[in-house]
Structure 1
């Protein structure tokens, strides 16, 4: 049986809901939920809470076109974005119970009927808490399904279950700061599941230009469709550079993950991936089967199978956590492709070829519909009509119209409102560090700055006169100096892609402007910077030298949710960084941040003075009334005692 065949037992009717609901943006007068149904759903949102003066308050809100937008993404898959504006504010710091009552064949079905895995024992419907302050945050990045660790999202589920009777202990927010999916690093069994789900749901196909296959169906059936997708590039000489740099060639490629031979290509593949990493329901519709592979690739496929099975077994708990906590997200590179927009040369190479441009565009369109839209629905109001037209009119073979798809991709590549904010105490600012880059004009292959001058000016304007702020920067603003130096050396040697040479200090102009923002007299007194990306966790306290009045900055990095750094290599980096950049080392005077004093917090489980914590999990930060961290912890995915990042006086400051 090939990867697209379906056994007879799986031809029954599809479930009403394939994924979700995910609780997304939550404000006093606004509630956003995301889900995917097997068809457009006739539903009502029901909210209930106990008010001390009025008693039990119940709202029953029909989800008409003003409150719910539908986008069909296949014959049997319809994305729903529920965006409810409320006449009166939701209460703060109390449990609010919600349900989605769906009308089907004359019956009304509740979440307990169609998604019982989203409920805790004894619960009849999910709940959320709108916290009055952002004083308790969970954050993390880098959730790779076939990494051998446990899934760190389960620690959010454990935390919610433990605080079911205490609304004040519910986190205010789950912030996912990048690599929610790995479009460029897909296990064989996951790709087989993706292809079966595409067939089962009738997700729309597409025409492909610039590849040796002309349609998505031809891609799925091609012998090189598993583990060898780089072979589908055109063979002619004009694309030699793209071929060499694509999907995992001999050199570090433009699509740069070393494991990118199963890189997602089509829009349908991207959508199916989101369904399969966020919900257990689609897995019940398919039985992934081994495709036809050479012997050595068959062995690799079988080695990956138990990792994917373990990931799927944990999905009910991960989905339950995301139904109870407001979840905000921002992309990093793997959501689209490794080293996305790393340099002007990268952009020039990838966007000038129709096949690679389509691959990036499909992943970006998938991000918009599955992540970005729920972050800030208003930002995409001008883009949705064209996307709706594309999805509403596939051709007679259920493929998207290529010209329309390419036009939308062109608009998304030029779109500049991926960043967003959440008005709260403290203010939350989520940065786009991938698409508005400060490109090198002198050497196109040099790494671009993570934000250009205009974007940084907008950031400074948003910060003016705020007492405190939480900034989400997918890449740490203050990272490990030795690793940044290694990246700089490879850049000088002409190999920036080989070491993922993208950090805030890699571009002189962007680094200078960013550091000047912190020194501005009208920007906040207290900054908390939440980051991920690097596959290890750490916490720094940062001060401006010779200024007692502030600001105070905390760089808090949690990575990955389900990924880790090579352990022995990180131990060496950690140890050498402590030796070479000790407080009085003259090397500190050659850094761009020499005017900053940086004090590492020490992990509580450190055995030899390590500053870096290498273990999958989820970050947890408690903030006091001034927006300063009162506790920083890493909730370890293996369920062991959480790791605290403790302030210490014995470590002098280093630059």
Structure 2
């Protein structure tokens, strides 16, 4: 059996009406060629710490078309795999006037898909979705874009396979132990995450966009100034953050950029301007760049924005862009907030904001986080501040609710859009999120204007421990919410700028969500994977929930009166465990 010259990919990234971006990693320095019926596109690889990558822009495509493609490496056919039973990879360009179809989710571990892997991590919802698409099942709407909202890889909670790779390189009894230490280990982690045959095919034929969350680097990344000072005092953190951001730029961020966005990117311009026929080595350049991004977060933007036919998608960095100085503490710093403010506008049917952390947590949990932020910052004195900081780091109390200044700023923006104060009001302002390892949908309680909705899909494959499920479910409802709100008030936290409540959830299945703009409203559907007849390698899809958020019909409509559920009820709800 011959070894493919491709290590990873092809991965279909930014696609518009007439062009597509394709990313690959090759085994050696090489020239990569993508061929379609419209012609060929070639590019030389660039190198990073002994790894070789290429990003190719395929042009000359027609809007709304489906075009098969193949990949050659130094003239050798590398893709499609002739031994694969999966369909040919294709490029589906956007069609003018067609409403957006989007899939989204977060938190996916890379472990085997056998009985043992499923027992510990549940069925991979992404793999089940890929296999369903591969059958050309017409019940499934082919997405225009898959949006991965963080924790594509776990740098701090590694699998057995990853630990074997690490232990072959260094002593895992020395810091950082079984966590990642450098770029070589990150490159292997991405290989484990993206090599599964079904998911590799899916990513080769459906466009994707991505944003990091904490586990792409480390749990609680930038939770507080205290956290940052503690981790920066270790011997290994600098290497981790440099490798994490450098590998993220290569594997995830670069493909988020449009051709115009890449032309403005300082690192990409080095690649584009390199024309002597040799492979450009970016190792030192990327390391210096990543170190600067950590040291000076305002020097580079990881967030991005895309406009589709009737929808705007804003994807927000809620990790690297934080301001941790207690006097100016913010989930997104002033520069990033100003960038977001410019893009929070009406004039679209739907305004979608992708943020890895849910903007609207279950209310009880939101109030607990706002209380903890207040006492950790000194509302109850120095002794209580220490307790608050320990609670913050132990229980991951560092979402939007724990950054009240940012929460209120974005709440005001969303309300102004929904009230038509920033252009023609859309039908909905919808936050898409992950992170919390349970899924739900909630809505701001409003009697007029656009709907403000929070939809969460988490995890794709990394279920919450059973013992924590009840705790999180309780925080979503009833008396606990009222008690948590009173607790926050005792620490001087003012009431939220609006109130919200759950439409459905939480549920804890491994899921991938889909969002479709329909004439009836925004239809959101959560699908998980199930094993049928013991066939662990070919899981089937099962609908967990389906909800249509309809446009408001009158100024006195209640949120529940314009939300329809699949079949009038939740279907086949079952724990992934």
Fold shared per TM-score above 0.5: yes
Report the aligned-residue RMSD: 3.4
Give the aligned partner of residue 437 of structure 1.
322
Give the aligned partner of residue 421 of structure 1.
305
Once the two structures are superposed, the pairs formed by residues 517-528 of structure 1 within 5 Å of their partners are 517-520=413-416, 521-522=421-422, 524-525=425-426, 526-528=428-430
TM-score (norm 1): 0.69
2:343 to 433, 441, 462: 462
Change (3 A) 1:485 1:349: same
Once the two structures are superposed, the pairs formed by residues 237-252 of structure 1 within 5 Å of their partners are none
2-side partners of 1:490 and 1:582: how far apart? 15
1:634 to 527, 530, 540: 527
Runs of 5+ in structure 1 lacking a partner? Answer: 1-11, 48-57, 197-219, 231-246, 248-260, 280-314, 395-399, 603-610
2-side partners of 1:116 and 1:593: how far apart? 60
Give the aligned partner of residue 580 of structure 1.
479
Give the aligned partner of residue 571 of structure 2.
none
Runs of 5+ in structure 2 lacking a partner? Answer: 112-119, 376-386, 532-539, 550-557, 563-577
1-side partners of 2:406 and 2:337: how far apart? 8
2-side partners of 1:165 and 1:558: how far apart? 23
2-side partners of 1:18 and 1:115: how far apart? 16
Instruction: Work out whether 1:345 is the aligned partner of 2:229.
Output: no
1:192 to 155, 158, 164: 164
How far 1:487 sits from its partner (Å)?
Answer: 3.8
Give the aligned partner of residue 109 of structure 2.
144
DSSP-derived class of the 2:152 partner? coil
Deviations 1:114-144 (Å, cap 9, x if unpaired)? 4644x62xx4554535354453211111111
Give the aligned partner of residue 518 of structure 2.
624
Change (3 A) 1:540 1:165: closer
Instruction: Work out whether 1:498 is the aligned partner of 2:399.
Output: no
Instruction: Work out whether 1:181 is the aligned partner of 2:181.
Output: no
How far 1:16 sits from its partner (Å)?
Answer: 0.9
Change (3 A) 1:165 1:629: closer
How far 1:431 sits from its partner (Å)?
Answer: 0.5
Change (3 A) 1:477 1:408: same
Contact 1:137 1:173 in 2 (8 A): yes
2-side partners of 1:490 and 1:617: how far apart? 30
DSSP-derived class of the 1:518 partner? helix
Give the aligned partner of residue 115 of structure 2.
none
Change (3 A) 1:573 1:510: same
2:249 to 354, 368, 372: 368
Give the aligned partner of residue 45 of structure 2.
70
Structure with the greater alpha carbon radius of gyration: 1
Change (3 A) 1:452 1:73: closer
2:35 to 39, 46, 71: 46
2-side partners of 1:422 and 1:650: how far apart? 28
How far 1:558 sits from its partner (Å)?
Answer: 0.3
Deviates more, 1:423-432 or 1:580-589: 580-589
Deviates more, 1:638-647 or 1:139-148: 638-647
Contact 1:157 1:318 in 2 (8 A): yes
Contact 1:527 1:551 in 2 (8 A): yes
DSSP-derived class of the 1:418 partner? coil
Give the aligned partner of residue 304 of structure 1.
none
2-side partners of 1:393 and 1:650: how far apart? 55
Give the aligned partner of residue 234 of structure 1.
none
